[in-house]
């Protein structure tokens, strides 16, 4: 890829693709996550960031795996039990199977999914790796969460905003730059979708791994990636005005884990019951529905 211009039409077929400036000299959240999941679509800066991250927060890899497993559970719940047929996934990251659209369209092949990310390397892989079912639709928006209106404008070309949409923000809000108002961004997204829509969030916290998470955040910030862990109350604010699905706002290992057929590699099946505080994965998760 090497930053060469791509002037063919984008996957949604509407305008030329931008030139790919991969910024390989700095770690990027999507590529850091790819390293933690054992992927190969990353660069030395990303791998160095993960090495430093694991040195200060050894549970980081398990956090990424648990986050992925939660996505499978939450999307399966919304598409399978709640009948949601549209998903807007922002901060999708490097494609890793099974992807969100595969889980959702496994419940109903007519589901429509729009992915959005600001990493050019995700753009480069989107066309090949996000192919959905013929009955449904799977599209990609190259957009920045700091500009939610632009993402919404593109998503409207694929999704029907008169029908419920699940907005998924998985391990992305804590990566927003310091100048961004994360709460206003979430409000903008949820104000745009109708009643019955859902908000799905995973967010890193310092509540249970304060020293480790703080050191990890400081290390990533020093390398050019802004990370803001939030407390339980701060994460709960994102769901103001929404009705939380049971069991509410929880640690990732405690959200609908009575049975865990989707347990991450290396983790046991069955509910997670960490014996020691240091074993707790420092990630809050929740699913909220927009009332009528």
Give the model confidence (pLDDT) of 200-235 as tens digits.
Answer: 999 989 887 666 776 666 666 665 667 788 999 999
Peptide bond into 50 cis (omega under 30): no
Q: Which residue has the tokens 């959702």?
A: 104
Which of 131-135, 189-193, 261-265 is most confident? Answer: 189-193
Report the distance separating Cα 106 and Cα 212, nearest Å. 38
Q: In this structure, are residues 240 and 290 in contact, taking their beta carbons and an 8 Å threshold?
A: no
What is the share, in percent, of the chain residues with pLDDT greater than 70? 79
At residue 113 the predicted structure's pLDDT band, cuts being 50, 70 and 90, is very high
* Element containing residue 149 per DSSP (H, E): helix 148-155
Q: What is the pLDDT of residues 232-272, one digit of tens each?
A: 999 999 999 999 999 999 999 999 987 444 444 334 333 34
What is the share, in percent, of the chain residues with pLDDT greater than 90? 51
Name the token pair of 23: 């910024």
Q: What are phi and psi of 151, to 5 degrees?
A: -65, -45
pTM above 0.75, yes or no: yes
Q: In this structure, are residues 166 and 100 in contact, taking their beta carbons and an 8 Å threshold?
A: no
Report the distance separating Cα 281 and Cα 76, nearest Å. 22
Give yes or no for residue 143 having a pLDDT over 90.
yes
């Amino acid at each position: 890829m090497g930053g060469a211009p791509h002037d063919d039409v984008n996957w949604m077929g509407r305008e030329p693709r931008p030139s790919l400036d991969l910024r390989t000299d700095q770690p990027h959240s999507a590529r850091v996550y790819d390293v933690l999941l054992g992927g190969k679509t990353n660069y030395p800066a990303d791998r160095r960031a993960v090495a430093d991250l694991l040195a200060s927060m050894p549970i980081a890899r398990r956090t990424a795996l648990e986050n992925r497993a939660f996505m499978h559970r939450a999307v399966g719940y919304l598409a399978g039990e709640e009948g949601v047929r549209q998903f807007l996934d922002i901060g999708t990251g490097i494609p890793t199977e099974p992807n969100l659209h595969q889980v959702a369209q496994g419940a109903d092949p007519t589901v429509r999914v729009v992915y959005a990310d600001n990493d050019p390397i995700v753009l480069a892989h989107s066309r090949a790796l996000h192919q959905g079912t013929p009955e449904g639709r799977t599209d990609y928006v190259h957009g920045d969460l700091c500009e939610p209106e632009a993402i919404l404008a593109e998503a409207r070309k694929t999704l029907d905003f008169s029908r419920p949409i699940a907005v998924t923000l998985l391990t992305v809000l804590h990566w927003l730059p310091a100048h961004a108002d994360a709460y206003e961004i979430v409000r903008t997204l949820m104000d745009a979708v109708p009643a019955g829509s859902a908000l799905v969030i995973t967010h890193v916290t310092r509540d249970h791994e304060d020293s480790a998470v703080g050191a990890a955040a400081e290390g990533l910030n020093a390398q050019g990636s802004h990370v803001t862990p939030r407390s339980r109350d701060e994460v709960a604010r994102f769901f103001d005005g929404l009705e939380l699905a049971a069991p509410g706002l929880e640690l990732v290992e405690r959200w609908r884990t009575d049975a865990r057929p989707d347990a991450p590699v290396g983790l046991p099946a069955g509910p997670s019951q960490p014996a020691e505080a240091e074993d707790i994965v420092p990630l809050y998760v929740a699913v909220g529905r927009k009332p009528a």
